[in-house]
Amino acid sequence: MFGERLRQLRLARGFTLEALAARMGGLVTKQALSKYEGAKSFPSSVVLMKLASALEVKPDRLLSDPTVSVEFVAYRKGSKLGKREQEHAESLAKEGLQERVRLQGLTGQFNGSHLPVHTLVVKRLEDVETRATDLRARWNLGLDPIASVVDVLEEHFVHVLEIDAKEGFNGISAVAFDEGRNVAAAAVVTRRGVPGERQRLNLAHEVGHLVLKVPAAVDEERAAFRFGGAFLAPAEIIRNQVGTRRSSIQLRELFLLRDRFGMSMQALLYRFRDLDIISESHYRSWCRNMSILGWRKKEPEESQPERPRWLQRTVVRALAEDLITQEDAERILGERVQIELPLSRIERRGFMKLPLEERRRILAEQAATAAAAWEEDYADWRKIEGGDIAEY
């Protein structure tokens, strides 16, 4: 597995064989690296240490086998990613999902065995409406609009991974299996920086690929897209708020509905057509208007994308419980993790390794914060003692 692990980490960093050889200072050639990845040879201890340094991991990350295998469920039809970009996206997703499975195990969280992967059966396209409602019921979501799709998915252990990718990448979904082929975790992958409305539909779309079991007679891409719309805007609540049949939809109404459901106006119009609320001709008329207004690719006043929080929350928890080191936490999050007092045993060890001036600075900041809080409490106490309590 060493060769496969090396290749995954290299592609996740976006390195070619030539680039990795250059980062190693020419210690080995790209041909030698290719042999390592192809399991035709194994590096010496010196080369192994240099490889780990170039890839910014510890040597044991290269030597340890992943506890799960990651398989990708679907790529969007019409994806414009080239082979190299696709390999980069998949390697980032694999590494991210494997890391989250490891953290799940360390913190004793849900192992993914009850995720509905490919269990919601559809026989025809219209069945997707019921399957989306079934998933909402399974997750106790009711029929109201979902405030945060990312939060809902992470609460149910469908990990949301953001990656830097070209515009041709819309999203993929993946499943991690343990050695017994049991589902250990799942993930939906989205491109970082996508507007909130598009991001939400992309995520719901990928959930469709993840949970639906679609026969060959049904277009899987259309089923997943319809699932996304039905998951965000159930037919019952749409018909209740918009009507069962409309001769026209006004722009102001679309703006208000976009804010309510967190879907783009174009996606809402497509949804109305799917539900026969508006006619095909009225839908096409709106598509022409969107083109004239220049809103096909970017609508006015788009919302910010939702942010995944499970990883940061779990890393902080694992650090507080001495399950990982501060160095490991900072590697996973890609940012510095501030030491806070009181310090745990493992944090004290890390604290004492800091330079003297850095330790003094941290302690001075903590002392200043504590002193300011004490002075504020003391001033409040004096006010109360003096009878000046009207504002309280």
CA–centroid distance for 189 within its chain: 6
More confident residue, 337 or 194: 194
pLDDT band at 377 (very low <50, low <70, confident <90, very high): low
Chain segment 208-258, per-residue pLDDT in tens: 999 999 999 999 999 999 999 999 999 999 999 999 999 999 999 999 999
Sign of the Cα pseudo-torsion (278, 284, 285, 286, in order): positive
**Stretch 383-391: mean pLDDT:** 45
Q: Is the pLDDT of residue 384 over 60?
A: no
Least confident of 26-40, 200-214, 227-241, 358-372: 358-372
More confident residue, 108 or 132: 132
Q: CA–CA separation, 271 vs 312, rounded Å?
A: 35
List, as one string, the DSSP characters of 201-264.
HHHHHHHHHHHEE--TTS-HHHHHHHHHHHHHS-HHHHHHHH-S--S---HHHHHHHHHHHT--
Least confident of 215-229, 259-273, 353-367: 353-367
Q: How many C-beta neighbours within 10 Å does residue 262 have? A: 22
Contact 223, 212 (CB under 8 A): yes
pLDDT given for residue 330 in this prediction: 87
**Stretch 353-377: mean pLDDT:** 70
b vs e for 70-99, b when ≥16 Cβ sit within 10 Å of the residue's Cβ? bebbbbbeeeebeeebbbbbbbbbbbbbbb
Q: Is the pLDDT of residue 260 over 90?
A: yes
Q: Is the pLDDT of residue 75 over 80?
A: no
Q: CA–CA separation, 136 vs 214, rounded Å?
A: 19
| Alpha helix ranges (H) inside the chain | 2-12, 17-23, 30-37, 45-55, 59-63, 83-107, 127-138, 149-155, 196-211, 220-232, 235-242, 251-261, 265-274, 280-293, 310-320, 326-333, 345-353, 356-385
Q: Is the pLDDT of residue 391 over 50?
A: no
pLDDT given for residue 148 in this prediction: 96
Q: CA–CA separation, 134 vs 140, rounded Å?
A: 10
Q: CA–CA separation, 208 vs 197, rounded Å?
A: 17
- Kindly state the tokens that stand for 208: 């469709």
**Mean pLDDT, the chain, integer:** 85
Q: Which amino acid is at 117?
A: V
List, as one string, the DSSP characters of 86-111.
HHHHHHHHHHHHHHHHHHHHHHT---
**Stretch 302-314: mean pLDDT:** 94
Chain segment 321-333, per-residue pLDDT in tens: 889 888 888 888 8
Q: Rounded to two decimals, what is the model's pTM?
A: 0.77
Q: How many C-beta neighbours within 10 Å does residue 35 have? A: 16
Q: Is the pLDDT of residue 340 over 70?
A: no
Contact 351, 344 (CB under 8 A): no
Q: Would you call the peptide bond into 342 cis, given omega within 30 degrees of 0 as the criterion?
A: yes
**Burial class (CB within 10 angstroms; exposed 0-12, middle 13-18, buried 19+) of 302:** middle
pLDDT given for residue 183 in this prediction: 86
Euclidean distance between the first and the last CA atom of the chain, given in angstroms as a whole number: 66
**Stretch 79-89: mean pLDDT:** 76
Chain segment 134-158, per-residue pLDDT in tens: 999 999 999 999 999 999 999 988 9
Contact 295, 284 (CB under 8 A): no
Q: Is the pLDDT of residue 338 over 60?
A: yes
Q: CA–CA separation, 308 vs 341, rounded Å?
A: 27
